Amino acid sequence: MYVDHHLAVKPRKKKKKKPKRKKSSVNRSAKQSSPPRIPVASLLSSGQFPIGEEVEYLGENAFRTTNEEKRYLDRMNNDFLEEYRHGAEVHRQVRQWAQKNVKPGQSLTEIAEGIENGVRALTGHQGLEEGDNLKGGMGFPTGLSLNHCAAHFTPNAGNKTVLQKEDVMKIDFGVHINGRIVDSAFTMAFDPIYDNLLAAAKDATNAGVREAGIDVRMSDIGAAIQEVMESYEVELGGQSFPVKCIRNLNGHDIIQYSIHGRKSVPIVKGRDQTKMEEGETFAIETFGSTGKGYVRDDMETSHYAKKADTPNIPLRISSARTLLSSISKNFGTLPFCRRYLDRLGHEKYLLGLNNLVSSGIVEAYPPLCDVKGSHTAQFEHTILLRPTVKEVISRGDDY
């Protein structure tokens, strides 16, 4: 049953100046293949990648749009911006293919590999030669988290899970060019009873994107997100469930080759007075849940990342030393999963991998799940706080 009238609070509509969305410089007549296999750089008509959604700063920062010094700083960032826009266009083309082609009955492994093969082809980096994956490709493994599981699940080898019609699947993947990671996510459901859950997360993410900007406090962003998310409810099996923000999941800043920087963007109101600053890049992501609105580690780990600046720790297990060398050369501090080690030809590496984790060199990121029986949804965008405008780099026609 389609549910669209169970909003606890109807959001007030404000008339707003529409943000500028620049004309695409991708030559749409030179069509992307299906599945996507043509590098996006070869589809360019102007030699430049499409600009994301540009939003002018407001209030005390309104001067930035026309300020000469800020415009000069913006022009100096051209390489950085082109790398980000390149990754964003790859993300859009791959995810739009996934939205049309992912269907119940497919295995999660098939879905993950379909997305990852697309990203590698469109960036022009297969990642099989040593160091190639550090130039471009997957920014982190494809998250395919189902139902009560909110994040950090990707199938390991041998996983036989098949997508069902009643599943709610978060698809969260990253694309990077030269370590500039575009982090963006969306949720797919095949039964319209979940429409309000998806709408809650999508609207809440857009509220966070709108609120974010130079000198904005994290607490204000969290409050704006929570107000929108929790104005929704979902009717499932004749019972009404309020949509709750998952309070212990956050957005985050992104730095080169590191998906999580030093700042967190809360999705509930709080006291964090930290401000966003000029030149920073943020992933604004929100998670809505019909459960407790709180996640815990659960299930088998698939995601890992080498920690930055780890001290030189002597490793007694030779397989750990071999594996660390391969991780450093192929991923650096970019997250990876077990399937990526399989793909590079590693075998029987679990003892070595667990040794790297217990030695504090590699961080394990287990799946994060709410209570069983609940359903969760996520949407996410990457934003660049340029000196002159906020650029929603991952914005597309889809979300």
Residues annotated as catalytic (active site), given as ranges: 172, 183, 252, 260, 285, 380
27 to each of 47, 122, 127, how far by Cα in Å?
Answer: 10, 15, 26
State the distance between the two ends of the chain, measured CA to CA, in whole angstroms.
24
Q: Which residue reads 């509930």 in tokens?
A: 268
Q: Which residue reads 């990342």 in tokens?
A: 305
C-alpha span between 85 and 394 (Å, rounded)? 8
Q: Identify whether the C-beta of residue 398 lies closer than 8 Å to the C-beta of residue 354.
A: no
Return the amino acid letter for 211: E
C-alpha span between 168 and 148 (Å, rounded)? 9
224 to each of 45, 241, 303, how far by Cα in Å?
Answer: 39, 21, 30
Q: Which residue reads 């996510």 in tokens?
A: 185
Residue 138 tokens read as 């997957």
Q: Identify whether the C-beta of residue 183 lies closer than 8 Å to the C-beta of residue 254.
A: yes
Q: Identify whether the C-beta of residue 61 lies closer than 8 Å to the C-beta of residue 213.
A: yes
Burial class (CB within 10 angstroms; exposed 0-12, middle 13-18, buried 19+) of 12: exposed
Q: Identify whether the C-beta of residue 84 lies closer than 8 Å to the C-beta of residue 109.
A: no
Q: Identify whether the C-beta of residue 51 lies closer than 8 Å to the C-beta of residue 384.
A: no
The residue among 113, 218, 188 whose CA lies nearest residue 399 is 188
